[in-house]
Chains A and B, each alone.
Chain A
């Protein structure tokens, strides 16, 4: 059962453009994490959001947790080639199970 759907699945943009990636579910999560994965490596944690409506900023990346704690978004401003990678959201259920989303593969073209 796939609890978390990410969109778009693939995204290719020019350097300097803005983009938003979405992570949606019908389930409520106690917290939600975003990871970035580069080819040949494991995912690396970017951020954890815990409170409904919470917004966190990490340089050019802005993360938001939905008010109902069922969805999240990642917005990147002025994308750079170094942002290229697979972005994964992961939601923690009340039973302490962490479910990963389907992933968004981002390519930023110089």
Chain B
């Protein structure tokens, strides 16, 4: 079972460059999320998509854009990368936005911005 698959796993960018992180899930989940994880800060929500065709801002959306391409895929784009965006990014999915819904996470994408 693939679950949630993220690409790439590692990326190094220079300040100002752009890139897109790809995420796909094969569990037929309605909701998908992008988080960033920084030391001592836990996981912070960047954007989420409650269902296909909708996206909403999370706690730290500035500098990012997202696209819910279809039910399976949810991409995160950095238009002009900054060193403050150096982080580990996690994509997650859940059946839907239920109060006790379990999140299933990918393995993470480690991004370094020089």
Residues of A at the B interface (CB closer than 8 Å) are: 1-2, 4, 6, 9, 30-31, 33, 35, 40-45, 48, 50, 88, 90, 92, 96-103
Contacts and interface: CB of A to CB of B under 8 A. Distances in A.
Contacts of B44: 100
Given A40-B107, A40-B108, A42-B106, A48 B42 contact: no
Nearest to B106: A42
B43 interface: yes
B113 to A, nearest CB: 20
B81 to A, nearest CB: 22
A72 B105 CA distance: 22
Contact of B45 (A1, A31, A50, A98): A98
B100 A43 contact: no
A35 B105 CA distance: 11
Contacts of A100: 35, 42-44
B102 A43 contact: no
Contact of A31 (B59, B99, B103, B106): B99
B42, B45, B59, B105 pick with most chain A CB within 10 angstroms: B42
Contacts of A30: 99
A87 to B, nearest CB: 11
B22 to A, nearest CB: 15
Contacts of A102: 40-42
A81 to B, nearest CB: 22
Nearest to A94: B99
A1 B59 CA distance: 8
B40 A42 contact: no
A30 to B, nearest CB: 5
B99 A44 contact: no
Contacts of A9: 40
A103 B42 CA distance: 6
Interface string B28-56: 00000001000011111100000000000
Interface in B1-31: 4
A103 B41 CA distance: 8
B78 interface: no
